[in-house]
Structure 1
Amino acid sequence: MTRPHIWLLLFLTKYARLEPNTPPKECLNRGNCTLPIWCPAHVYFKESEKEHCMINGVRKGICCNTGRNFMPRTNSGSARHSPESLLDSKTISAISRQSAHSLAELRSNEHQLHKLAVLPESSPDFGLFTNSRTYDVAELAKVQNLADQARRLALASNAFKRRRSLTDDQFERESFDIDSTPLSEDCLPEPDCVEIVGVYRTSDGSCNNQLHPTWGQALTANLKLLPPAYEDHIFEARKFSVTGQLLPSARTISSRLMKNKDVFNSNFTLLLAQFGQFIGHDVSQSVDHSFRNSSGISCCMDSGDHWPERLRHFACLPIDVSPSDGFYGRHFGRRCMHFMRSVFAPDHECRLGYASQLDKVTHFIDASTVYGSSVEQQGDLRAFENGQLKVFRDFGRNLLPLDEDSNACISRKGGSACFKSGDTRVNSLITLTAVHTLFHREHNRVAQALSEMNPHWIDETVFQEARKIVIAELQTVLYNEFLPIVVGTEAIDLYDLRLQEGPIYAIDYDPIMEPSVSSEFTAGAFRFGHSLIETTITLLKGGRVDQVLAFVPETMNYPSQMRRIDVFDMILIALITQPVQQVDENFNENLQKYVFRFGNCFGTDLISINIQRGRDHGIQPYNRYRELLGLPKFTSFSDFGPKYAKTLATIYPSVDDVDLYVGGLLEQKAPGALVGRVFQHIIADQFARLKRGDRYFFENHPRINPSYFEPAQLAEIRKTSMARIVCDNADGLSLGMVQPEVFKVPSTW
């Protein structure tokens, strides 16, 4: 059978085998040479106990024999008890009953709040909720069931730790396997990969790794780079300083440290920020707790005060607002900012331990933003004719299909539109809707070309081949154009993030490298992009200003202007010409006051939400990640520089309390990168694992990738650029030509 070919391939090019890189200097006494971030146990060693090594000719590595384990295991001979002896049948029975009873109490409390604490659909907090909401009834039931399983396991872990009087150190060092116990009913079920026939990726990311079939799968847990900083070391959000004092409120940090100032980066365009958000949504979406009927839970009273403790939902983590707050406090009398915790997911390993947050979408770079993360979602988007995706025909143009859910957007009045795509956040910003439209059209363009070249193909073959190509194009743009700008060439080389050239295959797939998205990435480092956002865009028509669009907050969850016949092109022009802001402590005030305003006098504060989300996910303070990366710890606030030292000292009790998100924004930029060292490494680590831990990554050799491309196809795909995708899928009414590198402002190329 002849393998399908990409459109317009005119000749075959010679296949060349990729030889593996020259191995780094061998470690003499301790394990293999690896990057510090991939050997987290090293943070527990004294400097004199560490053995350093060379990676790419630079002293960047550490000799490691502990793998990805967080802590060196205790010697079983000196341990007081083995994990197996602690988990006897009597203990298991007791903690199983206790965790089930505790969860039942929590659910009973939730039921009592159902009529009292429902989020009003006209509130800014409901807008925040829609960003993590599950709309499909069947999917909601699945998410809530997994969340209950994970919550029971977390409660069982807490009960076990207390019952056996284990110290935090003992609990973290050992692996308490429950696979053959009654508690295993709450473990993550494994997919039946034998039943999956075919060469293409699954829609939900399952069975990618043949040894660990749930790795990267939708509705599975986020990874942790370090043991989470939960107050109880299991699931309670971080609240206290290393000094024992309460941590400063996230809103206090935002209002006193972050400035309402526009500082532009004249080198890079808004499309860089918007593409970054599109990628972020491709690999990660947390889900906030909701009532069983999918309505939102309010964590603050309508008056702006906190709920009394007995009336507060167990998953609420509201943000304190000071009476002296210059915006929310003085003007509106608010004392409470809504924040709901993310639901948990069962761990990939069937064991007791800390809780991890659920990722609703596939963890892989697989264009789930276009195709969804389940068979059902994918089927709802397909036309089932010639491999096409559904479209909404409007004035002779193909727009995204319309979403009939009444809560997907804030207005459904005559002429308004709310769109449907592979990701439920498609309507959150009109510029994001535009990027979704580009890749939706790209799929249909490729599918049409494949159908014309292969008229004998059935719809399924055309769809899957077009999907495979679009995923490869997305991966090419990400690794060739986006990442070098964000993390710089030094990190690109250190983490082996360069794509091959021409017809060459990659053979660096690593089946023991977990691709799952880390909390530090999704709830920390990759949120650097919020600092890039410019909240108004100028729409040009014929070289003249047609409209100045305050798209944050006025078009959030309100993308109806996409129906104007010339707006899509004008948005694309703005995206590829207007500059982003610098990555720093400066944010447009709309992001601190008016996010999801929806006609109200105020919205929510995105920076406060980001800081609180990090604490929700148990992310360690900034200094701990400097240790993880082998960087010297900051010993005083002055290490952040004189610009920030005084203000930081008035906010945080200790330099060891500074949140990862805050420290990452303030740190000095790494050479050639948009971000500083800590964010640089966390982002590079994530995309290295998404590349090397993905069996279906488009470059992989036929011995690795069941859905491989032919050498000539690889060479053609590697010519992909974001400029080409824009040109091929714009309306062509206002947009006639684009610069070759659309992430860079035209004057810089």
Structure 2
Amino acid sequence: MRPFRSLPFILCCFRKNPLWGSANTGLARWIPAEYEDGENQPKGWNAGRQYSGFPLPLVREVSNKIMRGSSVFVLEDKAYSQMLVDWGQYIDHDISFTPQSSSRTADCLNTCTNANPCFPIQIPEDDKLSRNKSCLPFFRSSPACLTAQPQREQMNSVSSFIDASTVYGHSADLEKTLRNLSGSEGLLAVNVKHTDEGRSFLPFVSVRSACLQGPGSERVECFAAGDSRHTLWVREHNRLARHLTRLNPHWGSEVIYQETRRIIGALHQIITMRDYIPKIIGRAAFDEYIGPYEGYSDSVNPSVSNVFATAAFRFGHVTISPVLARLNQSFQEHERFPSLSLHQTFFSPWRLVQQGGLDPVLRGLLGRPAVLQNQEHLMTEELTERLVVLNIPETVDLAALNLQRGRDHGLPGYNEWRVFCGLDRVETRSDLAEVVGSDVLAEKVMDVYGHPDSMDVWLGGVLERPVSGARTGELFTCLIGKQMKMLREGDRFWWEHPSVFSPKQRQELQRHSLSRVICDNSGVTEVPLDPFRVETYPEDFLSCGNIPSLDLEEWKEQPDDGSYVTVFHLRTQVLLFLD
């Protein structure tokens, strides 16, 4: 049984700064933007403009000379599994998404001229990606409307909170389409045409989609979800909702849905902060920047910052594997559905439906090591030469996109962010060699940029040597740590807040894990205790029967208990009202 919470008490928490963290508001600025005209024009907008006495290099040139790596050569992470990388991408989509500008008068697919909203990526001569074109299309991010700042700001179209909007959607309309409103169990909608060995797939979108198709004649449309790649959590919601319905048949569909959503949101917070972030920034940095939970503060702005969304939390792009592993029950290469090159998987839901379902992919994420950042091969060619983006006819370059997006957003350079974090500026070639740990790499950067002050923050961050016990360098460790602290302390509905769950419910939630979610919602029967650590099969794997599970008995309520009033997910309701 949960503590009583009245509606006025909860609404009071949004009065002071009701837009903080809400969807469709501007990304936070921790230091002022740097635009070439002071207000709007990205770095690189005006030809011939110099930075620290040198022209700013083309982003594709930076990718070619510094980032390019082999599709074959991969340095394996001896500590962590590919699931760690996947979770980072997943949770990033839960807290930030910046929509691109659109215009009826500008054709950004067919212009190589800078003219809003088009900011094309210029291609150096003799670049094999050009295909007789001199640029790649690039749409600027949508400007935020509600801002008193004279400078252009960018919008976050999802809520900044870790609240499982990937599962439930970030708007009232999307949330409604993702629910099964016909029953009394508070379920999410699932696919009515296909199943995965009896388990649910996500529903298809209702209109003909741009997703790629397999060799068969039957179309498989894009999946519809808050984030269309994540089937596992829809299954978990429906599993928990059915259990809560059995425990509390008097609750009704809406109460069941909201109570289940509250649990799922808490699990996202727990897995991210307990299991994921300490591995990324290291335990020492976690203690320094985040520390133990001390409660909610209405003076902490939880809004995702521009530098976090556009640079720091994109560190994981250099750890993406060129291969999607698909493994059998013995965690060996699948006999019928072998592993795929990454570019073969882009926007291809037909492979899940027609080629073995989710289980081989989950085993691949659990049973194969993550890619370890390697300064000689920083990003796979699967991403720099073969990346597919819907509605763009040619392949594009993720490294170039990241760099161009940072310039589009007016992010200050690498050294400005080091100063923000209290770190020493990098002024010379030897300074740079020290922070990246490589004379050769420092030489490449200086040859391309001319001076460290000109270096784009995303590039500088991913080039730094990782902090001891971490997967990020000292700059991104600082930026990620600061952001995660704000996301937790500025969240009135953080799962550890005393008014959100009872002590016994919190104790049960702590028992749950991503490994248990996999056990309960797939055909995978053996898992590592910590799914983010790479283990050897079979000796380091446990039977699912030995993985602790969540006991929902603590959510059982007596119908005549007058002290209990169900309050729906108020944060969701308030934030959707503000959209």
Distance 1:693 1:719 in 2: 25
**Corresponding residue of 1:653:** 450
Asked whether the 8 Å contact 1:495–1:684 carries over to 2, the reply is yes
Secondary structure of the 2:274 match is helix
Q: Within the alignment, does 1:372 sit opposite 2:181 as a pair?
A: no
2:201: which partner in 1? Answer: 399
Q: Tell me, yes or no, if structure 1 residue 545 matches structure 2 residue 333.
A: yes
Contact 1:593 1:602 in 2 (8 A): no
Superimposed CA distance per residue, residues 495-544 of structure 1 (whole angstroms, 9 cap, x where no aligned partner): 2344xxxxxxx542111111111111111011111111112123222435
CA distance in 2, matches of 1:561, 1:230: 43
- Does residue 568 (structure 1) correspond to residue 365 (structure 2)? The answer is no
Amino acid of the structure 2 residue aligned with 1:535: P
Question: What amino acid is the match of 1:288?
Answer: Q
Q: Residue 744 of structure 1 is aligned with which of 506, 509, 533?
A: 533
Q: Is the 8 A contact 1:592 1:607 kept in 2?
A: yes
1:422 is aligned to 2:219: no
Q: For 2:326 and 2:480, how far apart are their aligned partners in 1?
A: 32
**Is 1:255 aligned to residue 57 of structure 2?**
no
1:510 pairs with 2:281: no
Tell me the equivalent position of 2:553. Answer: none
- 1 CA distance for matches of 2:98 and 2:50? 26
Alpha carbons 2:496, 2:506 under 8 Å: kept: yes
**Which residue does 1:693 correspond to in 2?**
490
Question: Structure 1 residues 241 and 582 mapped into 2: Cα distance closer, same or farther (>3 Å)?
Answer: farther
**CA 1:619–1:352 in structure 2 vs 1: closer, same or farther (change >3 Å)?**
closer
Which residue is equivalent to 1:486?
A: 280
Secondary structure of the residue that 1:265 maps to in structure 2?
strand
Q: Which ranges of structure 1 fall in alignment gaps of 5 or more residues?
A: 6-195, 202-206, 427-432, 499-505, 703-707
- The equivalent position to 1:712 in structure 2, one of 504, 508, 513, is 504
1:130-169 mapped onto 2 (5 Å cutoff): none
Shift in Å, 1:197: 5.5
Residues 164 and 268, structure 2, Cα contact 8 Å, conserved in 1? yes
Greater relative contact order, per chain length (Cα 8 Å cut-off, separation 6+): 2
1:556 and 2:356 matched: no
Secondary structure at the counterpart of residue 370 of structure 2? strand
Distance between the aligned counterparts of 2:165 and 2:369, measured in 1?
A: 28
- 1:225 pairs, out of 30, 54, 67, with 30
Map 1:230-629 to 2 at 5 A: 230-239=35-44, 240-243=49-52, 245-261=54-70, 262-291=74-103, 298-301=107-110, 306-307=111-112, 309=113, 313-325=115-127, 327-329=128-130, 332-347=131-146, 351-384=148-181, 385=183, 386-393=185-192, 394-395=194-195, 396-411=198-213, 414-423=218-227, 426=228, 433=229, 436-498=230-292, 507-543=294-330, 544-546=332-334, 547-550=337-340, 552-564=342-354, 566-585=356-375, 586-596=378-388, 603-629=395-421
- Rounded Cα–Cα distance in structure 1 between residues aligned with 2:8 and 2:231: 29
- Number of aligned pairs? 513
CA distance in 2, matches of 1:477, 1:208: 26
Q: Report the CA distance between 1:333 and its aligned residue.
A: 2.5
Tell me, yes or no, if the aligned pair for 2:103 and 2:117 is still in contact at 8 Å.
Answer: no
How far apart in 1 are the matches of 2:149 and 2:64? 39
2 CA distance for matches of 1:408 and 1:229? Answer: 36
- Map 1:115-134; keep pairs closer than 5 Å: none
* Aligned amino acid, residue 343 of structure 1: S
Cα–Cα, structure 1 residues 599 and 710, in superposed 2: closer, same or farther, change >3 Å?
closer
Structure 2, unpaired ranges of 5+:
434-438, 541-579
CA distance in 1, matches of 2:52, 2:109: 29
Please, which of 3, 11, 14 is the counterpart of residue 209 of structure 1?
14
How far apart are 1:381 and its partner, in Å? 0.8
Q: Secondary structure at the match of 2:327?
A: strand
In the TM superposition, what is the alpha-carbon distance from 1:648 to its structure 2 partner? 1.2
Q: 1:245: Cα distance to partner?
A: 4.2
> Quick check: 1:344–1:355 contact (8 Å CA) kept in 2?
yes
Aligned-partner Cα distance in 1 for 2:140–2:392: 24
Contact between 2:99 and 2:141, CA under 8 Å: does it hold in 1? yes
Structure 2 equivalent of residue 637 of structure 1: 429
CA contact (8 A) 1:576 1:745 kept: yes
Cα deviation, 1:548-587, whole Å, max 9, x if unaligned, reads: 3335212211111211373311110001011111234421
1:259 is aligned with what amino acid? R
The superposition leaves residues 208-254 of structure 1 with CA deviations (integer Å, 9 ceiling, x where unpaired) of 63310011110000011211111122221112443354310000000
Residues 601 and 287 of structure 1: is their aligned pair in 2 closer, same or farther, counting only changes over 3 Å? closer
Report the Cα distance in structure 1 between the residues aligned to 2:507 and 2:157, rounded to whole angstroms: 34
Structure 2: distance between partners of 1:601 and 1:284: 26
Counterpart AA for 1:517: V
Larger Rg: 1
The 3 A distance-change label for structure 1 pair 241 and 512 is farther
Q: 1:245 to 1:405 in 2, by over 3 A?
A: farther
The TM-score with structure 2 as length reference comes to 0.84
- CA 1:535–1:345 in structure 2 vs 1: closer, same or farther (change >3 Å)? same
1:720 Cα deviation from its structure 2 partner? 1.8
Indicate how the Cα distance of structure 1 residues 624 and 555 shifts in structure 2: closer, same or farther if over 3 A, else same: same
RMSD: 2.5
SS at structure 2 position matched to 1:420:
coil
Quote the Cα distance in structure 1 between the aligned partners of 2:297 and 2:218: 53
Q: Which amino acid aligns with 1:322?
A: P
Residue in structure 2 matched with residue 727 of structure 1 by the alignment: 519
- Residues 656-695 of structure 1: matches in 2 within 5 Å? 656-695=453-492
Alignment match, 1:46: none
What is the CA–CA distance in structure 1 between the aligned matches of 2:525 and 2:174, rounded to whole Å?
35
Q: Secondary structure at the match of 1:477?
A: helix
- Specify the code of the residue in structure 2 equivalent to 1:488: G
Deviation at 1:3, TM superposition (A): 4.0
| Cα pair distance change 1:403/1:198, threshold 3 Å | farther
Deviations 1:661-705 (A, max 9, x none): 111111111111100000111111111110001111111122xxx
Instruction: Give the distance between the partners of 1:446 and 1:198, measured in 2 at CA.
Output: 29
Q: 1:663 to 1:324 in 2, by over 3 A?
A: same
Residue in structure 1 matched with residue 551 of structure 2 by the alignment: none
Contact 2:236-2:520 within 8 A present in 1 as well: yes
Percent sequence identity over matched residues?
31
Aligned to 2:561: none
CA 1:626–1:597: 2 relative to 1, 3 Å: closer
Native 8 Å contact 1:410 1:598 kept in 2: no
| CA–CA distance in structure 1, aligned partners of residues 274 and 442 of structure 2 | 37
Q: Are the counterparts in 2 of residues 561 and 567 from structure 1 also a CA contact under 8 Å?
A: yes
SS in 2 for 1:409: coil
Structure 1 residue 725 displacement after superposition: 1.1
* 1:580 aligned counterpart, secondary structure: strand
The whole-number CA distance in structure 2 between the counterparts of 1:320 and 1:713 is 55
The Cα of 1:457 is off from its aligned counterpart by: 0.5
Partner residue, 1:8: none
State the alpha-carbon separation in 1 of the partners of residues 2 and 322 from structure 2: 47
